[in-house]
A and B are shown apart, each in its own frame.
Chain A
Amino acid sequence: MLLAGLLASVEHGLNRVLRLDSTALPRLRPLDGKVIAIDCRQPALQLFILPGDEGLMLATHWANEADCTLRAPASSLLRLALSQDKSAVLHSPQVELEGDSAVLLDLVAVLQDLELDWEYEVSRWLGPVATQMLSGHLRSRANWTRQGLAALNQNLSEYLAEEARTLVGQREAEARFSELDTLKVDIERLEARLERLARSLDTSDNA
């Protein structure tokens, strides 16, 4: 019952988020009636997802057979949820996919393409003017933070590589690796020559 209560809350929250994107629910409509089973191996846990035009329904049991079953350990499921390249995770050896995989891939695509119109939701509570002011402020803060982090990243790497000489710079490291590669190839070539020379000496001794 505890898990059912938790799932009910997650379902409610998830469907509210889906409603923030005006295209998400119409895109889920073709999946209406499909059942996706998520079979988590470590820890053992089963979850059923039923997409529909009113959102997603989550269930711990489902009496009917699932259209698609995804079996994976919790770590892979977490990677699947967070990763940008979900198909790479789906093709990993720990993940088993059974049934109609298109159902799962369609659902993943809808969730990946979500563009949440949070300003609309906030405007319902604060009104359009306050929302505009708040969103403008938040957007400029976000831009400032993004630029600040990028500048900090660049300055720090330049300081460590160029001034403190604690780390080797990227171009310097690439040049050194290239020299090492050349040296390695030269040594292999010399080794081959020496071997050939040793063989020819052996042949002349025997003759």
Chain B
Amino acid sequence: MNDQRKGDHAEPTTHFGYKDVPESQKAEKVAEVFHSVAAKYDLMNDVLSGGMHRLWKRFTIELSGVRPGNRVLDIAGGTGDLAAKFSQLVGPSGQVVLADINESMLKVGRDRLLDRGVAGNIEFVQADAEKLPFPDNHFDCVTIAFGLRNVTHKDEAIRSMLRVLKPGGRLLVLEFSKPTNKLMSKVYDAYSFAFMPLAGKLITNDSESYRYLAESIRMHPDQETLKAMMVEAGFDRVTYHNMTSGIVALHRGIKP
């Protein structure tokens, strides 16, 4: 939906933050960002969100409806926060697949979960959200937390998630969104464009990745647009919950 196609012969372009880049380059550029931040990803999440990302993920788990024996796919699972909890909830009879397109993030996530003793019912798969390498009607729940805005073709990714879900299965999209309060929006803008790149520079010595983060959040579809995209892809009963005045929204849809 964010994509723009120029002319018949020129390569279609898409957003990479505020820049337009050829579609074929976006995945590579996003990969560079995450290769750069992977090692300190958790620390940066805690610093930049003031620990709030833990509460946002907690709420996602509460709405997931995951129960023992379920099969769960956590796309863009990064360092495995959600996957660890899902592994506990589905139990030994269930299965959790942590998928990420980025090799560095997947390695950090896998090492972290194995170090914490999370094993047995969890698999790690390097996969593109647009072309999920799983059979149709396979998962009871699919989650993607802070990953959809980095996907080149969001509509294709949502359709792919619909395909792998069983009928009655839930898709949960946790993503930055548009603040609902004007004052909060101004404070948030100042915070994102001044503090986030500075913190990135100080902690990971990489301000560009965090400038991209702030820009990519602004280019991501707002609550209603994402809801419409999910409905268009074929999801039923699509609802969303704003958290922290809409800075983050959790969208939930059911496969009919």
Contact = CB atoms under 8 A, between A and B. Distances in A.
Interface of A: 1, 4-5, 8, 32-33, 48, 50, 52, 54, 59-64
B54 A8 contact: yes
A63 B65 contact: yes
The 4 closest A-B pairs by CB, nearest first: A63-B65, A33-B68, A61-B62, A59-B62
Contacts of A33: 67-68, 89, 91
7 contacts: A4-B55, A5-B55, A33-B67, A33-B68, A60-B62, A61-B59, A63-B170
A63 B88 contact: no
Nearest to A59: B62
Contacts of A52: 88
Contacts, number: 37
B244 interface: yes
Contact of A32 (B52, B61, B91): B91
Nearest to B92: A32
A107 B89 CA distance: 18
A4 B58 contact: yes
Contacts of B170: 63
Contacts of A1: 52, 55, 243-244
Given A1-B243, A33-B91, A54-B88, A64 B65 contact: yes
Contacts of B67: 33, 64
Given A4-B55, A63-B65, 19 more contacts: A1-B52, A1-B55, A1-B244, A4-B58, A8-B54, A8-B58, A32-B68, A32-B91, A33-B67, A33-B91, A59-B58, A59-B62, A60-B62, A61-B62, A61-B63, A62-B65, A63-B62, A63-B170, A64-B65
Nearest to B64: A63
Contacts of A48: 62
Contacts of B89: 33, 50
A50 B63 CA distance: 14
Nearest to B245: A1
A107 B170 CA distance: 30
A97 B63 CA distance: 24
A52 to B, nearest CB: 6
A8 B55 contact: yes
Interface string B87-108: 0110100000000000000000
Nearest to A11: B58
A5 B51 CA distance: 10
B55 A62 contact: no
A59 B63 CA distance: 10
Contact of B59 (A4, A32, A64): A4
B62 A62 contact: yes
Contacts of B54: 8
A5 B54 CA distance: 9
Nearest to A63: B65
A59 B65 CA distance: 12
A52 B92 CA distance: 12
Nearest to B52: A1
A61 B60 CA distance: 10
Interface in B214-244: 243-244
A109 B55 CA distance: 30
A48 B52 CA distance: 21
A54 B62 CA distance: 17
Interface in B146-171: 170
A63 B168 CA distance: 13
Interface in B45-75: 52, 54-55, 58-59, 61-65, 67-68
Interface in B11-66: 52, 54-55, 58-59, 61-65
Contacts of A59: 58, 61-62
A62 B91 CA distance: 17
Nearest to B90: A33
A32 B121 CA distance: 15
A99 to B, nearest CB: 15
Contact of B63 (A8, A32, A63): A63
